[in-house]
Amino acid sequence: MDADDFRAVRDAVRRFVREDVVPREDEIEATDAIPADIRAKAVDMGLFGYTLPEEYGGLGANLVEDVRLAFEFGYTTPAFRSMFGTNNGIAGKVLVNAGTEEQRRTWLPRLAAGEVASFALTEAEAGSDPSGLTTRAVRDGDGYVLTGSKRFITNAPLAGLFVVFARTGEETYGTRGISVFLVQAGLPGVSVGPKDHKTGQAGAWTAEVFLDGVRVGADALVGGEEGAGFGAAMTSLVRGRVHIAALCVGMAERILEESVAHAATSRQGGRPIGEFQLVQAMLAEIQTGVYTGRAAVLEAARRYDSGEDRRIGPSAVKLYCSEMVSRAADLAVQIHGGMGYMRGTVVERCFRDARLFRIYEGTSEIQKLIIGRALLKGAK
């Protein structure tokens, strides 16, 4: 975007988050849902398509701009960002990067206007590593029949479109022969299970998706090419890892603010606990993580946009920032003492919410493997 235009968007997002969403975090936590008026305002602001190309109704944000907005999204409950995250990230980017022009024209304007897309890759035996994927798509006449099930699918109960990964090749294991299909919710054979009951991130819905002989046309095959699904998935996930890292930085900034405010006002022994050096040390550790994480994310995004590094950097920042925010949340609970363990305290919620960042879109362990293998490959 033009620098002035982007600054206006970022400032509007910051006001929206802090003036509209933050005051209703307890409501979102209690009801496990994003209020309809907040969703409507997010649609009006273009947040359901801010990274999608302008020619399809989006705002066209690059990754550097994306992460600067994610710093703002991360300041509040992750459920806020989650309602439009798959449109801009892992699901929407499959269409942008791998879809045919007809598929882009059909779906991207709908996503930018607020229709929800879900990224349906994960299965019981195929999580961070999709090698165990078992959902199949069998060619039948002029279309395909899909059979299988997916789990932990973000926004599944709300989705109008499922971006489904299925095997079309003869392989039964590994990353070869995986294709990706656009499956509309409501087709015969598509069903969604009840919402998952998670430890944290209330209001961000996940559920199982069942495909029982779902028939789709040949035009549902993304890109019109069989066997390209694994590459499409990895391309979307790599970009998404930088975005997730930025969300972690935003949450850590919120955790720091809450901890500093508590340390400055809560008293023990007749003086603020912030005067105790060990409390100061914990605050310093959180601040250092925020400072380092923000700088690393911005550099990883810059190198991604330039094409310099789309392998090591995204995994490195996702690994560092997801671990960093969990540590920050743990320290914040310690700073708050007993109050930090009570429901209704911001840092207690962040403690639960942060834990998922180390698991989804590639666990910390997977990121280490990606980084290590890439380094060794570069040494040959």
Query: What tokens appear for 34 in the block?
Result: 């994003």
Residue 205 CA to residue 196 CA, distance in Å, equals: 7
CB 300 within 8 Å of CB 312? no
Residue 336 CA to residue 331 CA, distance in Å, equals: 9
Helix (H) or strand (E) holding 161: strand 161-167
Q: Which one-letter amino acid corresponds to residue 377?
A: K
Measured in degrees and rounded to the nearest 5, phi and psi for residue 270 equal 85, 5
CB 70 within 8 Å of CB 246? yes
User: In the chain, what is the greatest distance between 2 CA atoms, to the nearest angstrom?
Assistant: 80
CB 49 within 8 Å of CB 108? yes
Residue 309 CA to residue 83 CA, distance in Å, equals: 29
CB 241 within 8 Å of CB 366? no
What are 154's strand-pairing partners? Answer: 206
Residue 367 CA to residue 378 CA, distance in Å, equals: 17
Choosing from 29, 208, 253, 361, the catalytic residue is: 361
Distant-in-sequence, close-in-space partners of 337: CB < 8 Å, separation ≥ 6: 266
Query: Residue holding tokens 């972690």?
Result: 248
Residue 144 CA to residue 138 CA, distance in Å, equals: 5
Q: What is the three-class DSSP state of 83?
A: helix
361 catalytic? Reply is: yes
Q: In angstroms, how far is the first alpha carbon of the chain from the final one?
A: 39
HSE toward the beta carbon, residue 356, CA cutoff 13 A? 22
Q: Which residues are catalytic, by number?
A: 361
